[in-house]
Amino acid sequence: MNNQVLELKHTIRVLPDGGIVLVLNTGAVIGPEAEAMLQALHSRSIGGISQHLKTLAEKGPEKFMSQFYVGYGHKSIGDCGTGTIFIEGVSMLVAKAVQDWQLYSGQECSTRFLDFSVQKFIDPIGTAGSADVLESWRSFYLKGLGVLIPHLENRFPRSENEKNAVYDKAIKARAFDIMRGFLPAGASTKLSWHSNLRQMADELMILRHHPLNEVKAVANALESVVLEAYPSSFSVKRHAETEIYNAKCVWDLNYLTADEWPDFQVAWDKIDRKLLSGYRAYLMGRPSKTELPKKIAECGLMQILCMLDFGSFRDIERHRAVIQQMPLLTTKFGFHPWYLSELPDKFVLEAAEFLKEQEQKIKRLKCNPATAQYYIAMGYNCPNRLTGGIHALVYLAELRSTRFVHPTLRMRALQIAGELNKRFKRYGLVLHLDKDPDRFDVKRGEQDIIVKD
């Protein structure tokens, strides 16, 4: 065992609900601020890196970063130093808020790998009624798993050539994918955020104005830990006009809301066909598992509107090359029928009645629509608006059309692929799609990240 790893001192803040925000200390002698200083010096001096290392050793990065990066606003210097933050014990809504921008890099825990029999549910209202809603979701989720696993074993019996351990994991993965629809968005999760110093500062300027108090608390903790971990790269100084403007933008534009929304529709197509025709050889000659050249984005954008359950929105939001807006999770667009269709026949009626009861309980909660999201299950449909170029849409459609993707998202990916094929096949576009029907595949049980002995 490497005890040096265990002895590292990380910068930590405890959140009001018991979660944590942690800036990882890798133990590096040359930290993010020093690394940024070295690169900045390297770009503006005839001296080589050896000379700059000597300067770093003699003077340190503190004065340099506070003067040039923070003081003079040379923001590109902040691009040259990176850090990793771990956030635990927060709701799914916090995870989506942190990830709600195109420059996010990091990982979020899958609902397949969290034990929701003990996982904390975040309850911002804190009344007996709100607790009852959350615990009712938990009870039904656990009951559903107990019903589903034997049902799936009967529906998809193990073949002789399939290993027991892999088969069992695949069955459980399928059950988790079905029952995740009954988990509330207030269920807690954990995530990491890897970012350069500039992007951390830019995102914190937005997060601290979020409509949800939990997100604000996380933003305050984030600001506190980065100020301690990187004291020369962040400032507590705020400009009143900027803060007012950012607050207005966040409150006015944070959520996509609608009274009506199409099931699936191309809102507009601004792809320049003449310009696209110049890429014909690259559209036709692209091998499978290979991305189109990013320069093809110059051909323009296309916007797609669709209905998507919040669980699958959590998955598709990770596609940074497309622009999406966070939907406001409500019950108005109904519960996605796929989750009910996968239940045993004798259990469907019970599930439908349970959903009606939960909806009535949620209506009785005294809170604003943003806070109500904590108590709404992730199987409910939301409006989704997705804007991207050819490169981004092709990547999304191919990656999310495989039989290993959640079926409610896979359906939308195949519809996007259909529109791309219809509009751009004549210009040479070839799509590499998994067209196998949605089915149980034991290989799902092999898709895991484990530490081997």
The pLDDT, as a whole number, for residue 43 is: 81
32-43 vs 197-207: helix crossing angle, rounded to 10: 120
Task: State the CATH architecture for 3-109+188-253.
Answer: 2-Layer Sandwich (3.30)
Q: What angle do CA 97, 378, 223 make, to 5 degrees?
A: 15
In this structure, are residues 36 and 61 in contact, taking their beta carbons and an 8 Å threshold? yes
Tell me the three state secondary structure of residue 451.
coil
Both tokens of residue 202? 């830019």
pLDDT in tens, 246-300: 999 999 999 999 999 999 999 999 999 999 999 999 999 999 999 999 999 999 9
pTM to 2 decimals?
A: 0.90
Least confident of 174-188, 302-316, 427-441: 427-441
- If 0-12 CB within 10 Å is exposed, 13-18 middle and 19+ buried, where does residue 35 land? middle
Q: Is the dihedral of CA 138, 140, 141, 142 positive or negative?
A: positive
- 318-331: average pLDDT: 92
Neighbours of 17 (CB within 10 A): 17
Element (H, E) at 392: helix 390-399
In this structure, are residues 446 and 411 in contact, taking their beta carbons and an 8 Å threshold? no
Least confident of 126-135, 209-218, 437-446: 437-446
Among 409, 244, 253, smallest CA distance to 325 is for 253
Among 429, 393, 428, smallest CA distance to 414 is for 393
pLDDT in tens, 334-362: 999 999 999 999 999 999 999 999 999 99
The pLDDT, as a whole number, for residue 443 is: 59
Both tokens of residue 375? 């108590």
Task: State the CATH architecture for 264-327+381-446.
Answer: 2-Layer Sandwich (3.30)
Please give the distance of CA 214 from its chain centroid, rounded to a whole number: 17
Both tokens of residue 353? 């009645």
Per-residue DSSP letter, 68: I
Residue 320: is its pLDDT beyond 90? no
Among 330, 377, 370, smallest CA distance to 354 is for 377
| pLDDT-based confidence at residue 5 (cuts at 50, 70, 90) | low
Q: Which residues of 281-305 are buried (b: 16+ CB within 10 A; e: fewer)?
A: eebeebeeeeebeeebeebebbbbb
Element (H, E) at 384: strand 381-388
The pLDDT, as a whole number, for residue 453 is: 45
Both tokens of residue 10? 């990380």
The pLDDT, as a whole number, for residue 237 is: 83
The pLDDT, as a whole number, for residue 23 is: 85
Radius of gyration of the chain (CA): 24
| Phi, psi for 124 (deg, rounded to 5) | -70, -25
Q: How far is CA 3 from CA 23, 28, 383, in A?
A: 19, 15, 49
| Phi, psi for 75 (deg, rounded to 5) | -65, -25
Question: Does this chain's domain 3-109+188-253 share its CATH topology with 264-327+381-446?
Answer: yes
The pLDDT, as a whole number, for residue 76 is: 84
The pLDDT, as a whole number, for residue 451 is: 40
| pLDDT-based confidence at residue 439 (cuts at 50, 70, 90) | low
H helices of 209-269, where? 213-229, 240-253
Domain ranges of the chain: 3-109+188-253, 122-186+333-375, 264-327+381-446
Q: Which residue has the tokens 């397949």?
A: 112
Element (H, E) at 266: strand 264-269
Both tokens of residue 411? 């359906």
Phi-psi region of 257 (alpha: psi -120 to 50; beta: other; left: phi over 0): beta
pLDDT in tens, 277-291: 999 999 999 999 999
Q: Which residue has the tokens 């751009």?
A: 424
Both tokens of residue 398? 């191919």
Q: What angle do CA 342, 345, 348 make, to 5 degrees?
A: 70
Per-residue DSSP letter, 113: G
